Structures are given as structure tokens and as C-alpha cells.
Amino acid sequence: MTSSQVKDARFRLTPTQAKELSQEFGTPLYVIDEAHFRARIRSYKQAFEKAYKNGYITFASKANSTAALMKIANQEGCAIDVASEGELRGALLAGVPASSCHLHGNNKQKEELVFAIEQGIDHIVADNFDELNLISQILKETGKPSPKIVLRLAPGVDPVTHAKISTGQADTKFGFNIADGSAEKAVTQTLALGLDLYGFHCHVGSQLLDPEAQRSGGQLIADFAVEIKKAHGFEARYLNVGGGLGIMYTENDVPMSHEDYCQLIVNSILEALEGSGIDPILAQEPGRSLIGESGLTLYTVGVIKTVPAKDTTTRTYVAVDGGLSDNPRPVMYGSKYTVERVSGKPASPTSTYTVSGKHCETDKLFPDIELPSDLEVGDLLQVLCTGAYNSSMASNYNRYQRPATVLVRPDGSYSLVQQREPWEVLFAREIIPQDL
């Protein structure tokens, strides 16, 4: 399938909406379309449930842990995947019970595990042998029953994606390696400790446009489940193949449809399970693929400056009122985005610009992109597909306030779901000793 055959359904603002939002809430501003987000969840759920009768979707809240969005995801039938006590507390704040949450993490601290268990977490995705022993110790100390335990496996799959978001290969900090026998040892240890072993999990990476790694990962953990049943009599009730389906950051990104993707994953698992008698719940935990295209960031154009450049004679920089503190992904991963002017002016020929942030770094957000030649100070730019990993990765570098998040409601109204960080909150941690 080519980019011309893929419908561009990414959320965009109209010029009128952009003007209203910028005037009421300021910029930079994260904007999420509620109806779009709900539709993405429903599309994914329907596709998975069509492919498999016991298909189950968990929202990976690391992609965007805004409490209102976790509440929406849960309303749409998703469990919530949390990777820290903070994300779990956010889910609880949103009214999502711990019994609808799953706790991840490669180095969970005792206090995190205690909190999750006391709150009644549905299951813990265990990552290492020390964690299994620690969970057993906590259960003895608290007298609590064992939550479901899902073992995270490293299936030895190296996906086609950026190295920093590749997690399923053998050389990874995550999970129990299948090839070296650690995964099988984890099964026997979990059972010996009397923990409620529920099943197995893997996550091979993020922003996957080539589905082969995900297909292979699903097949490998299903193969593992079959071998464990033969060797130890344990029958997995649950298999989770993680998330990772890519989205259309630019027109060059061509993701599979939810329906084709889910069918591919299910087929690979069922083929491996055939004849084993294992009939598990199959789970996926998408994050980016649910929320990414439902959000955008609105910026205001500031300084426009043309300077000499080695490779192109000159380069024109457009500085916006945000930068790496509200979108670190271009610096971290070289991520590319679609950037559009939404000022409502008539269409004009384009020129090549480099959009930069306002931080004390090189801070090239979007290098060498096409924007209207008559771009002016004060124009509004919308950056598509920032619903995932922007708000959740935002920082206070240079003491900038993290942006507000506004929800566009189905009736067209706006609801503030995260306020722009107040100055008093930004400096609340500071303590100046009396004798200074």
C-alpha cells in the first residue's frame, strides 16, 4: 500500500478553531480531539475483536498520561497500562480502578509494588528474578493475595525502527530472555513462589511500519507458551503482544490498517498455538496508535531570520514559542512531523524553512520543511500527530512552563484538561537554606 492509498485522517484545527484556542489558552498548546480519540480506540478494538473472540485492548498511558485521556480510554473499554506509581496514581485520579490497570517497569521499587498491590492492581508485568522475589516478600508482609503475574519476555526480535525505541531484541534491559533459558527459569520460579502466574508478554518496539517484527514476536511467545505447557504443565491464560503499530507522522509513513494488523498478529499466534489446547485471552497495549494522530501542538511564529548556510547558501529560521521542552522527540530520535500554517490566509507558494524552538540549544524542531512564502510573525503553526510522547515527555528546561492541554469536545466546545504550569508550581520544589 502506498501513501496515496492511505486516507489522511489526522486531526487538524480549522483557522477559526486555532485562533480561538490561541486567544483563550495561549501557545504553545496541546490540543486533543475527543471524538477522534474515541474513534481510534473503537476502530482498534473492533478490528482486534473481529480477528479474535477474546481480543483485549490496554491503553499504554506512557504515550499520554493526561488523566482525562485515561478516563476516556477506560470508558471505551480499555484497561490502562501504567509504567510507574505516578501513572497509576494518575489513573486512580481519573476514576479508573486499579483492577483495570496493569503495572509495567524494568526496575520497580518496593514502594511502587506495595502501593499497586494495596490498591488492588489487576496484574503486574514482572521483568526480572529479583522482582519476583520482592513480590513474594511483599505478599507475605502484607497478607495480600497474589495479583496476576505476567512475565515479560525478550523474544530476540530486532524490529525496523529507531534503536532507542527498539525493545524486543536479545540485548535489552527488558524482560526474561527466551533463548538463554531465563524465561523458562522465570516460569518455574514464579510457580515455586506460589504467585498467580497468568501468562506472558512481549513488546518488540514502537512506531512499527513493517509488521514483521510484531508478527514474529507474537509467534515466539506463543511457541514459548506451548513449550512451557509441554515441559511444566502450565497453561497460559493470557498472551500480550504489546503495542507498537506506527502512525502517519508524515505522508511518507504508511501504517497498516487496524484490521489488517490485528488479523496478521492473531494469525501468527493461532498458528503457533494450534493443537496445544491453549485458548488464552490475547491482549495488545497500543498507545501511540490510539492517541498520536488525535493530538496536535499549536505554536505562534516569532522571529524569522535568514542566515548563511554551508549546504544551501542561506537558511531561513522560524522560531516558535516552544521547542524541545514540549517536544523532545526531534532531538532524541530525529523524528519528523507534518507542520502546517493555520492562519486562514489564502494559499501561497512555499519556501523552505527550518522551524526552531526558543531554548538555549540548537533546538531544530523541524528542519528544511515547506511553509508558505508569506509566513509572518504572529502566524499560527499546527504540528500534527503530537498526541503521543509530547505532553508525557515535556520538561521545564530553561524554566519554561509545560503547556496546557485542551480537549475539543464532540459538540465543538473546548475543555481545559491540563492547565499551563503555574509559576508557583514550577518553583514549588525549591528550598533556599536560611543561612544563605
**Exposed e or buried b per residue across 62-80, where buried means at least 16 C-beta atoms within 10 angstroms of its C-beta:** bbbbbbbbbbbbbebebbb
Nearest Cα residue to 155 out of 134, 115, 182, 135 = 182
Residue found under cell 482498534 = 44
Look up residue 166 and give its DSSP letter: B
33, β-bridge pairs: 408
Strand, coil or helix: what is 36?
helix
- Of 229, 210, 211, 208, nearest to 272 by C-alpha is 229
- Tell the residue number behind the cell numbers 481480543, with chain if given: 55
All three cell numbers of 182, joined, read 531465563
385 is catalytic: no
CB 243 within 8 A of CB 285: yes
Asked if 377 and 38 touch (Cβ cutoff 8 Å), the reply is no
Secondary structure (DSSP) of 236-290: -SEEE----B---SSTT--PPPHHHHHHHHHHHHHHHHTTS----EEEE--SHHH
Please tell me what DSSP assigns to residue 213. H
Place of cell 473481529: 50
Shortest CA distance to 105 belongs to which of 132, 129, 84?
Answer: 84
Q: Which of 78, 101, 202, 360 is catalytic?
A: 360
**Cα–Cα nearest to 44, from 57, 35, 53:** 57
Neighbours of 393 (CB within 10 A): 17
Q: For residue 201, what is its C-alpha cell?
A: 508478554
Cα dist from 236 to 142, 199, 269, whole Å? 27, 5, 13
Catalytic residue ranges? 360
